[in-house]
Amino acid sequence: MSRQPLFDRLAIIGIGLIGSSVARAARERGLVRQIAIADASEQHRQDAARLQLGDEVHADAAEAARDADLIMFCVPLGANAAVAAHVAPALKPGAIVSDVGSCKQAVIRDIAPHLPAGVHLVPGHPVAGTEHSGPKAGFASLFENRWCILTPPPGADARAVEAVKAFWAACGSKVEVMEPRHHDLVLAITSHVPHLIAYNIVGTADDLETVTEGEVIKYSAGGFRDFTRIAASDPTMWRDVFLNNKEAVLEMLGRFTEDLIALQRAIRWGEGDTLFNLFTRTRAIRRAIIDAGQETAAPDFGRSPAAGKSEG
């Protein structure tokens, strides 16, 4: 695609699922003139070079960040502070630092204190992903028609926010600006708690003594397998999400637990109307998600190759 590049040099720190998808989208759509990649993993650096995801591949993040106009942190949340401290001396005045992390208050807490004056921080979260990791798992269309939420801290440079907005819009995303704390609450209920429930239910099934593992696998089409896809998500990423969005997750988990106990009671006392009314309400939410284009109505959702995207 021929277009005027939005940035001269893009540095991607962490060339995993999200970082490599950003690289592919930026290259395919001509959004930048030059892509510099850094990753801590020797294997991932080799894969990135072989797949020609960028023009340069570095072990040292500061080398990639040097002279970059947009530096995108695509590492697990727990690595942000150390990466920010390390690249800070290499950042040029006017550079924009952004990221893709799944919680935003922690990103601002960990990155902002390290940035020199004149470098702008515009955190972002593409609400798109899969249960796979690493540079081979990425694809250029991952962000198409998906939301990307930007959470600029108070006083953020308006031009830098507009530039990051334009970048994600050019990747095919719908972009929204949100207050960081609100982002963390919204994502706690729409993404983080659902992942925790999936991890928990798959773990519980694995621990059962009265039902064999063979039976769980054999009869998984009853609903269980949809949880297993989410529960196959990257352990490092999700450990860091729960450690870094602790308060919002605990708040939503408190509400969830209360509602679960109310359902337990309805089952115990045979309150069919309570169950029926809830299940009717939830069915309408599913329909609204399909109507909004965030999911397909196909009955095998999540299992056809075209339906492999989820949220993260």
Name the residues that contact ligand NAP, by CB under 6 A: 13-19, 38-41, 44, 61, 74-77, 79, 82-83, 100-102, 126, 129, 133-134, 234, 237, 241, 312
Residue 57 or 161 having the CB closest to ligand NAP: 57
* Residue 109: other Cβ atoms inside 10 A: 14
Minimum distance, C-beta of residue 211 to ligand NAP, in the bound complex (Å): 30
DSSP-assigned letters across all residues of 107-122: HHHHHGGGSPTT-EE-
Q: How far is the CB of 207 from ligand NAP (least distance, A)?
A: 26
Closest approach of ligand NAP to the CB of residue 264, in Å = 31
Closest distance between ligand NAP and the C-beta of residue 135, in Å? 7
Nearer to ligand NAP, 39 or 69 (CB): 39
Least distance (Å) from ligand NAP to the CB of residue 137? 6
Residues 58 and 232: their CA atoms lie apart, in Å, by: 29
Contact 167, 6 (CB under 8 A): yes
CA separation for the pair 291, 293 (Å, rounded): 5
Angstrom distance (rounded) from CA 134 to CA 205: 28
Contacts of 214 (CB under 8 A, 6+ apart): none
Instruction: Provide Rg for the chain, Cα atoms.
Output: 21
The distance of closest approach from Cβ of residue 239 to ligand NAP in the complex, given in angstroms and rounded to an integer, is 11
CA 243 to chain CA centroid, nearest Å? 15
Q: Closest CB to ligand NAP among 243 and 260?
A: 243
Q: How far is CA 157 from the centre of its chain?
A: 24
Residue whose CB is less far from ligand NAP, 111 or 287: 111
Q: Which is nearer to ligand NAP, 152 or 312 (CB)?
A: 312
Closer of 9 and 192 to ligand NAP (Cβ): 192
CB 173 within 8 A of CB 311: no
